[in-house]
Amino acid sequence: MALLKRWIIATTLGVAFTGLAYAQEAADTVAPEAATRLLAAQAERQPVRGEIAMIAAANHLAVEAGAQILANGGTAADAAVAVQLMLGLVEPQSSGLGGGAFVLYWDAAEKRLTTLDGRETAPRAATPTLFQDENGEPLKFFDAVVGGRSIGVPGTPRLLAELHARWGKRPWKDLFQPAITKARQGFAVSPRLAAQIAGDGDRLKTDPAARAYFFTGDGEPLQAGAILRNLAYAGTLAILAEQGMDAFYSGPLAEAIVEKVRGAEANPGLLARDDLARYRVIEREPVCVDYRDYQVCGMGPPSSGGLTVGQILGLLQPFDISAMSPDDAGTWRLIGDASRLAFADRGRYMADVDFVPMPVKGLLDPAYLASRSELLRGERALESVEPGKPEWDHALNLSDDEAIELPSTSHFVIVDADGNIASMTTTIENGFGSRLMVAGFLLNNELTDFSFRSHSDGVPIANRVEPGKRPRSSMAPTIVLQDGVPVLAIGSPGGSRIIGYVAKTLIAILDWRLDVQTAIDMPHLVNRFGTYDLERGTAAEAMAPALEALGYKVNVRDLNSGLHGIALWGDDVPDISVLESGSPYLAGGADSRREGAVFGQGALKCDPITACIR
């Protein structure tokens, strides 16, 4: 692809980390996590291959932890527990015990796809005015984030327990040992973590525990390569390994979490022990849409990811994208305006379906999407975009959302030797979450994914704060099926841009037939609300004049994805016949914009395990 080749040439090897990048939109756009430019030396990487099992995740130590579990006969569910526990140690700014997650799990024996919702919940004492001042006006974003007010009930610990209970084989205690050992021995601070500590500065120093952990005694941020030990985290994991995750939601650990949240000096929160005790993981119906010869399945509400990705693909279904060039601005006009139409519906209708009626079926109805796609048949950018009117047996009138969603998240994919698949997106929301640290881990600021306003012109907003409610998310863990057989698993961090990152990569693989690594590393062009975001330092910048001529405003900026994916047909054209031929292999890709790694077991004859990891 010429776009990819030009992008490789345009990328500057010497610029690995940039400063903080902030978007211009009023909602869904704050991006305080330091972005990592894709390195030219990595840009022509090939997918990692394996014949037996595979893991793609955001840090090589997490991949090694999962690989050890797989090598000992563990399932994808077992490995997911080990991977997440290690990510909470070595990538604490993005996910951990103090956050929440969504997972898609393919049970190969049952040939069944299950989606589990481990999203955080609002405390029972929360009200729709939680993030408003005394005059009813929304708080400034970081005034809401830093401290206890923004913290929801963590869901990740219960989700890990649920994964193991349903599909695990290895002893529960064994899954904790890699992270416990590394927390005690120490690990080298990665360049990405060091850059984010330095970038967050004083916000991360507000909590004494976080300051003591992430900074030197002189208050200087830890440097890349510094050895960091987390004995408190090791102690927490030892308790949970012995007593199970119930020990997180009751007893001394729960008391410590509540005390930390409610005792935050400048911004105390509302979390209570009863909120923790009541938390449950919810099994949801997968959201699936037909696209070409495939069924693209994702997470349903309270995530908007599966629905919005599905809508984008459904809107593009009538167009032969495979015959269009990724170098042509007209191609991106179609993709960009399809995204804008989907985001308009997202802002109007999508929230926690347990609290707000939602036209889920109507939003993905082929007839509705076909009628909406007629709006794409012009030759210029749509002048304006409004939510559609899907079929819905409800008279509720809703106003458009104003939530801000941030990109500090992680995604990993695991395929085990039996063909079970875990595709999991996990988060504490903003980089370093609420900046409050307890028992060796950071607590989320997930409640700021709610709309700060409860109403607009007297009309309620679907994603307003309510007690016990789960904030809307854009996390989009995805599994693609062909004739009922999984052929691809993928996902990404990136706030509300997750949707665009995942949709672009699916199009690159399913329409343009790129291998999974090349598709992941392809330059980003993302349009949610009218302005086209073009990835800085790539050939996407060269598209600016043509897109402006089509009527778009253009914003050249760092686009901070962290895509990880595994293709189950290998790195050739996706085709179910490859699987039926008896000679399939796995091909994995890790986003070159971050520090991800891929482990492939089998074809590489890995011994030791670390030799398999790129």
Catalytic residues: 409
76 touches 414 (CB < 8 A): yes
CA angle 250, 441, 156 (to 5 degrees): 60
Question: Residue 136 region, left (φ>0) first, then alpha (ψ -120 to 50), else beta?
Answer: left
Instruction: Write out the two tokens for 403.
Output: 């939530």
Task: Render the burial of 357-372: b for 16+ CB within 10 Å, e for the rest.
Answer: ebbbebbbeeebbeeb
- Torsion over CA: 183, 99, 520, 192 (sign): negative
d(CA 477, CA 298): 6
d(CA 453, CA 463): 9
Query: For 91, how many CA atoms within 13 A lie in the half-sphere containing its CB?
Result: 31
Instruction: Write out the two tokens for 507.
Output: 């199009």
Could you tell me the strand order of the sheet in which 553-557 lies? Answer: 525-527, 531-535, 553-557
d(CA 49, CA 604): 7
Could you tell me the strand order of the sheet in which 478-482 lies? Answer: 48-50, 586-590, 564-567, 485-491, 478-482, 294-298, 287-291
For residue 480, what is the enclosing H or E element?
Answer: strand 478-482
Query: For 258, how many CA atoms within 13 A lie in the half-sphere containing its CB?
Result: 16
SS3 456: strand
d(CA 344, CA 347): 5
Between the alpha carbon of residue 471 and those of residues 118, 466, 529, the distances in Å are 12, 9, 20
Instruction: Write out the two tokens for 46.
Output: 């090939």
d(CA 489, CA 138): 38
72 touches 170 (CB < 8 A): yes
Query: For 99, how many CA atoms within 13 A lie in the half-sphere containing its CB?
Result: 32
